[in-house]
Amino acid sequence: MLGDGQLGAMLRDAGRRLGVDVETLNPEPAETSQAWAPRGHAIITAEREHWPDNGFTRNLQAEPGWLNAAAFAALTDRQSQKALLDALQLPTAQWCQVTAEADLQSLRAALNGEFLLKRRRGGYDGRGQWRSQTADGEGMPDWHDEAIAERCIDFSTELSLIGARDAQGNMVFYELTENFHAGGILQISLMQPGRFARWQREAEFYHARLMSHLQYQGVLAIEFFLTDAGLLINEVAPRVHNSGHWTLAGASVDQFEMHLRAISGLPLVTPMQPGCSVMVNVIGRAVDPACLTLPGTRLHWYGKQERAGRKLGHLNFFHPEAGHAAEWLRQLPLDAVFAESRERALRALVGDCPE
């Protein structure tokens, strides 16, 4: 497993349950520790889509067991990702390439309005993004020619779909998940069976089309904007995903086990998802111990040092009845920055149906 962060740790845990040996690999090791060699017929996958270009990572990708080379090549650069979505006629926001000569006026004209700059590579949790509405006399940031420009759109909420595909082309999907952000950082994810049934089949169709084209193996996540015109693909992540962490409590097979099943030839089954699941990220500082007084709380701690804006762990709730999940979320001691996300999630849990 290329990458040794929290996703790698949760994949190791899934491997222990399945009897699959998962070894996580630091992509930036010291020179003396770059002598890793695959054991037998190793399957090599990744828990991240960005890594340094060094001798270690190049050798790893040259191994015959390296999976999803075409997917990583197409999806890790936002420009090639958007071009692929367009080529496959998958709906996404209007966008354009940004050159060094581009300016605010030319990009606004090309995109028929305000736009968002996104760095082509890297950037997450709101980093590496810039909105044209915030422009001052200095104009765009000096990295604008390393970005794409995407038209700002109106949307009612953000959804994500976690799916998996094996080497034989079998595919399974989880229920659409609703995501609530602040400052570009995911705070709360909520899955309620059937809440977005109207868009589930459409989302699965887009997801399946992309995975089939790439001959993808493993778990892949797609983020969608729900707009008046339907679903628009925001971004694609070729890996297990933060918005799928609820599956650790609310699905018979979680996304980490599903990834290992898909890449190792184990049976790929549609997971049972029998009730309401809530995932709350722990951000910036240690979790309040009072969270653990709630009977539904499951804490997953990543063992990272505290730092503003950093995801240090997450909390999961699951209950067959939405009212119980809502009550736990209401009682959860959270910082004030979670107020809007919590209020939106509570409205969803107590019956605010999407139109």
- In this structure, what DSSP letter does residue 25 have? B
CATH number of this structure's domain 6-74, picked from the four choices 3.40.50, 3.30.360, 1.10.287, 3.30.70: 3.40.50
Q: How far is CA 156 from CA 87, 211, 226, 232, 333, in A?
A: 26, 26, 6, 12, 27
> In which band, very low, low, confident or very high, does the pLDDT at 352 lie, cut at 50, 70 and 90?
low
Is the pLDDT reported for residue 208 higher than 80?
yes
Higher pLDDT, 173 or 27: 173
Average pLDDT over residues 74-80: 97
∠ CA 349-351-354 to the nearest 5 degrees? 100
Task: State how far the Cα of 171 lies from the Cα of 203, in Å rounded to an integer.
Answer: 13
Task: Mark 219-254 as b/e (b = at least 16 C-beta within 10 Å).
Answer: bbbbbbbbeeeebbbbbbbbbbbbbbbbbbbbbebb
Find where tokens 């990009």 sit.
107
Task: State how far the Cα of 274 lies from the Cα of 268, in Å rounded to an integer.
Answer: 18
- 123-175: per-residue pLDDT in tens? 666 678 899 987 665 688 889 999 999 999 999 999 999 999 999 999 999 99
φ/ψ (deg, to 5) at 285: -150, 165
- Pair 342, 328: CB distance under 8 Å: no
Is the pLDDT reported for residue 32 higher than 50?
no
- Pair 224, 159: CB distance under 8 Å: yes
State whether CATH 3.30.470.20 applies to domain 157-349. yes
Containing 130, the helix (H) or strand (E) segment is strand 129-131
- 213-258: per-residue pLDDT in tens? 999 999 999 999 999 999 999 999 999 999 999 999 999 999 999 9
Task: State how far the Cα of 351 lies from the Cα of 34, in Å rounded to an integer.
Answer: 54
> In which band, very low, low, confident or very high, does the pLDDT at 323 lie, cut at 50, 70 and 90?
very high
In the chain, % of residues over pLDDT 70: 94
Is the pLDDT reported for residue 354 higher than 60?
no
Partners of 177 in the β-ladder = 160
Average pLDDT over residues 187-211: 97
Containing 190, the helix (H) or strand (E) segment is strand 185-191
Average pLDDT score, the chain: 93
pLDDT, residue 33, reads 53
Residue 200 one-letter amino acid: Q
Is the pLDDT reported for residue 37 higher than 80?
no
> In which band, very low, low, confident or very high, does the pLDDT at 100 lie, cut at 50, 70 and 90?
very high
How many C-beta atoms lie closer than 10 Å to residue 26's C-beta? 16
Domain ranges (residues) in the chain: 6-74, 94-151, 157-349
The CATH number of 94-151 is 3.30.1490.20
Task: State how far the Cα of 49 lies from the Cα of 218, in Å rounded to an integer.
Answer: 13
